[in-house]
Structure 1
Amino acid sequence: MTDTLTRVAPRPPTLVGEAGWGYFPIALTARLPFAMMVVGILTLIVSARDSLALGGITSAMTGVGTALFGPLLGAAADRFGQRRVLLITGTANSLLLIAIAWLAFTTAADGALLALAFLIGATMPQVSPLSRSRLVGIVRRSFEGQRKAKVLSGTMAYESAADEIVFVFGPVVVGLLATTQGPAAPVIGAALLALVFVTAFALHPTAKTPALREGESADQQAPVKQLLRPELLITAVGTLGMGLFFGAMLTSLTAFMAERGVPEQAGLVYGAMGIGSAVFALGVAFLPVRFSLHARWLTFGVVLFTASLGLIMVTTVTAMALCLLVIGIGIGPTLVTQYSLAAARSPWGRSATVMTMLGSGVIVGQSAATALTGIVAEGAGWGIALFAPIGAAAVVLGAGIINARLSRR
């Protein structure tokens, strides 16, 4: 009996078992404030100050803060550990969100709102890239050989889908809170979510997962110049285009709904895009291997651009929702593909930096498009503003074409 028991092979490790069941819902929810902030601030300022242009510029400042400080926070996490950085930024970010929710309805100068928005972006917890870094560390520590490659690939697919789902459904949460609780509710809700779930993410045992294996050092990382390779930069351009689309689509949709007297419901209509997007993003895992990543980007980029052209003919809320439903088919798989390409092309030891670059690309694009589209919508109307997401879709498709050419070269 004893010999039989000793001959039984140990059960192979699983990612869920190594990270713990509780990790994934915590990490997923902790990303939600990141997706709610830009949209929530836009809704708050438009309602409080009655200016779509000011709302767009204020929300764009969060993107500026993230672009400048996001990579620095990643470097700080590498040096001082994720737990310390996340606890500090999560707390500071929550307090700043509550401050802007209060200040927006006072007589404070517009400049004060812009400064607060910048600080909100600068302290935005980098949950997504830090989650990828943790899971990569777990995979490298716990798996070997072909199983390691398979688990790592599945991990990147899950992380990409999680990001995409949160970025699409974040505005839906904003719309629900703004409609039922008032325009300040989404920002206050994001503050509470950040305080609770970013703290839980920081205190989770996986926060101590080393980025490098035992015996390795930071000196073995690829040089910084490897981050500037065209094949890698084009994936960042692709996510920038996706961010441009998110910002342009939501802002022009807000103008479209404001014309009908219900701007606070823009997030709810925007959620129609999330249905097709989420389903097809998760379905990417079932696509055949011979359907290459380059071909996927081109295929779904064409779907995104073609479906966006239908926005020109939209005149009713129902037609808008149907158009967004079709657009979502191109959104999810394209974003998942971009992250998968970036993961495959990441220089040694620089995966967290690469993921931060792509995540910053989304938020910077969203913020910039929100500001520019807001100015256009206020000056020329929602009909002209709806051309902005078409232009953003063209950027995504153009980057996919360049990516295919670089890959062949």
Structure 2
Amino acid sequence: MSSQSSPPSSSRSSHTPSYAAVLRTPHARRTFGAALLGRLSYGMVPLAMMLAVRDSGGSYAVAGTVLALFGLTSVFLSPTRAALVDRYGPRRALPPMAALYAGLLALVACATWRPGAPPVLTGALVVAAGACTPPLGPVMRTLWRRLLPDRALLQRAYSLDTVAEELLFVSGPLLVGLLLTVAGPAAAVAAGAGLVLAGTLALVSTPVAREVDGTGSAVSGERPGGGGALRRAVLASAATGLALGALDLMVVAFAEARGQAGAVAWILAALSAGSAVGGLAYGAVTWSAPNRARLPLLAAGLGLALAGAGLAPNLPALAAAVALAGLFVSPAVTTAYLLADEAAAPQARTRAGAWVNTAFNAGSAGGTATVGLLVGRLPLPLCFALAAAPALFSAAAGARRVRDFGGGRSLRKSDTGADLGL
């Protein structure tokens, strides 16, 4: 029986719109587990790679440059790789990407196993690996859409996916730390290679992935009228990423100014906890307002909480403010993915999700870089306010569009097209 015919019907899911109902859907646990296994690699590889390059003879400057190049190629080529998945289907597109990615990571591990690796060689291998990173997150969200045609269950699945992905980026560095106690960082790079290959092969072997054959042709992703909804989702995702990228560094500066640098980990843990609680609570509610109306409110909540955090008088107050900001993070990202899914043509959903993901990661990198230039030159409360400004701008722009089209009406046909070229 195909996975499309086996999920709970819309009437059944409306009576049990829970996370348990999501995971009880036939093939959901197997598919989701395989995707998480592969995506755990993404939480491990950046730290492991930086340490491996440094220990092999490169300085911190060399290691940082190599890691930045890896991030650039991985993030900005993600929509292109996702387009290949849309065109050929996950079974044909993902295994070659995963094999190349894992193979190049294995070469990085071999090159950095002992000191003396030429930085040019490791840099070239790392850049090539970044170019081949399999888009497992966007693919999983596309598969959720096939597993769960019911919109209420899909919202819960996306919330669960977003929270789980965030937890992977917390647990990945912890696993690297454990591996460092028994082996070097090169071994952690090799472990990341094994995880992504195993997870990808397990994912494409699932029944729902076997049903997706791709379009067989290039995907333009365009519908008459353009992709205003997708652009709003991308803008909100970029603003959220920028806020988080800036927040990490501002928390460090806040704690160090008070002589308590050790509190940074606890404050960032409060952010992650707030995001997890907010994401799970948000996904459990059946909302009457459409995604395009909720997204500006979530972006505004994040921006206001972030600006308020800059006024915290001490570390406990900052932790509370950061936890409050975290309540809006996972819901905002989840809603951006849902809006992109609505806006995209069916044959371009993977690439639409990849654009949202790319915007978030690019925003995070840009936020860290920008605040790095501002901290020490401007008062810290002003830095918090400037970091909040993009989220507030995104909220204002989104709210204006909702008001123009009528917040309670369904999207106009011309506003649902996905101009994936952006």
1:29 aligns with 2:37: yes
Aligned pair partner of 2:204 in 199, 202, 205: 202
Relative to structure 1, the CA distance from residue 70 to residue 61 in structure 2 (aligned partners, 3 Å threshold; closer, same or farther) is same
CA deviation map 1:284-329 (0-9, x unaligned) = 2344534443453333323322332355467977665444322211
Distance 1:332 1:41 in 2: 27
- Partner letter of residue 329 of structure 1? L
- Partner letter of residue 328 of structure 2? G
Residue pair 1:29, 1:197 contacting (<8 A) in 2 also: yes
Equivalent in the alignment of 1:126: 135
Equivalent in the alignment of 1:363: 361
SS in 1 for 2:77: helix
CA RMSD of aligned residues (A): 4.2
**Aligned 1:140-159 pairs, distance under 5 A:** 148=149, 151-159=150-158
Equivalent in the alignment of 1:407: 402
Distance 2:48 2:102 in 1: 13
**When the two structures are superposed, what TM-score results if normalisation uses the length of structure 1?**
0.74
Relative to structure 1, the CA distance from residue 199 to residue 222 in structure 2 (aligned partners, 3 Å threshold; closer, same or farther) is closer
Q: For this pair of structures, how many residues does the alignment match?
A: 380
Residue pair 1:277, 1:328 contacting (<8 A) in 2 also: yes
1:76 aligns with 2:84: yes
Distance 1:344 1:206 in 2: 20
Residue pair 2:52, 2:112 contacting (<8 A) in 1 also: no
Residue pair 1:32, 1:170 contacting (<8 A) in 2 also: yes
Shift of 1:126: 0.7
Equivalent in the alignment of 1:5: none
SS in 1 for 2:247: helix
Residue pair 1:222, 1:349 contacting (<8 A) in 2 also: no
Residue pair 1:30, 1:197 contacting (<8 A) in 2 also: yes
Distance 2:235 2:395 in 1: 9
Q: Using the aligned pairs only, state the percent identity.
A: 20
**Aligned 1:290-305 pairs, distance under 5 A:** 290-305=288-303
Shift of 1:278: 1.2
Residue pair 1:86, 1:125 contacting (<8 A) in 2 also: yes
1:103 aligns with 2:112: yes
Equivalent in the alignment of 1:88: 96
SS in 1 for 2:345: coil
Residue pair 1:272, 1:321 contacting (<8 A) in 2 also: yes
Relative to structure 1, the CA distance from residue 74 to residue 299 in structure 2 (aligned partners, 3 Å threshold; closer, same or farther) is closer
CA deviation map 1:341-396 (0-9, x unaligned) = 2222223432222112112222222334445555667xx59x97897665443222
Aligned pair partner of 1:249 in 227, 247, 250: 247
Residue pair 1:30, 1:127 contacting (<8 A) in 2 also: yes
**Aligned 1:266-305 pairs, distance under 5 A:** 270-287=268-285, 289-305=287-303
Q: Give the structure with the larger helix fraction.
A: 1
Distance 2:256 2:118 in 1: 24
Residue pair 1:89, 1:125 contacting (<8 A) in 2 also: yes
Equivalent in the alignment of 2:180: 181
Residue pair 1:293, 1:337 contacting (<8 A) in 2 also: yes
